[in-house]
Structure 1
Amino acid sequence: MRMLVVVAATILGLDLVTKILAVAYVKPGRPVQVIGDVVTLTMLRNPGAAFSMATGMTWLLTLVAIGVVIGVIKIGRTMRSPWWALGLGLVLGGALGNLIDRLFRSPGPLQGHVVDFVSVGWWPVFNVADSAIVCGAVLLVALTLFGFNPDGTRGDAAAEDETDNEAEA
């Protein structure tokens, strides 16, 4: 649980600091080039989810984020795997970062727009929280597919493969 909290707090801190800096220094409609036209800092206030989907459902996205936070904390209490702690910490930190925007940014509570500012090529504009959520989710899916359980044990598929291999030998 300690690792999960440290990862989540680190991601949350990075997300908050980078959003504060982006709001202060990146003006809407005036992107800042970082690596030519490929990587730019572009100020965008996103009322929706990823890729600006569900823009009229900001209140619902806020409630979903609260549910994710509660779910991650519940899973984290029984977890023994450092890899699951990393994945869940990334998801928790990112969810909290975007949740804070939805709760405290304009136009108001449960309707706040998320600050997005990183633009890479043709990919939609995103922020540190979004990156953490995606990376954490990819890690959790990989762990699940390879049979690693949150409690630190290997899943049934992995155990069956090992049993089959031992039986053949």
Structure 2
Amino acid sequence: MAKSLQDQLLQAGLADDKKVRQVRQEKRKARKQNKPVDADAEARRKQAEQAKAEKVARDREINRQRQEQQARQAKQAQVRQLVEHHAVSRSKGETAYQFVVGKKVHKIYVGAEQADQLARGRLAIVALGEDFHIIPAEAAGKIRERDSEIPIIQHDPKADQPDEDDPYKDYQIPDDLMW
């Protein structure tokens, strides 16, 4: 096998080990510096940085959505717990209490005392899904604070004040009249 000139000079004693290593190191540096700049490599690097930035932004958005979903679920759980804790058992009464949720009129049957308290605003009706629960007015206020989008039906006694220009204000409505 043919030896390189460096190896031959080293064997002959004309060059020392330190000098050979230094020359090899200089050659390696020169090769790296003289390497042509790859324009495609620069473009690929920029594209990789852009893709990484887009991924970080996408991950942040996904994380924000996940946190919002968890916050919504936590509010729903709090509302459900408030309703379950404060729910008044609905006696199967003969009095039909009608109320509007959205554009639909719903009817539940309650006892006479509960109908009176609903009419006076002491009790409220909360719609959770397809079910309607009767709760005290204080609990309805707490639920409104947590989630204002849940339908809460509560009669406002102040709204019963007759208008001054009501033509029927002089006529009394009997207490036992059910609409």
Tell me the TM-score range normalised by the shorter chain. under 0.3
Structure with the bigger percentage of helix:
1
Query: TM-score normalized by structure 1?
Result: 0.25
Query: TM-score normalized by structure 2?
Result: 0.24
Query: Which of the two has higher C-alpha Rg?
Result: 2
Structure with the bigger percentage of strand:
2
- Structure scoring higher RCO (CA < 8 A, sep ≥ 6) equals 1
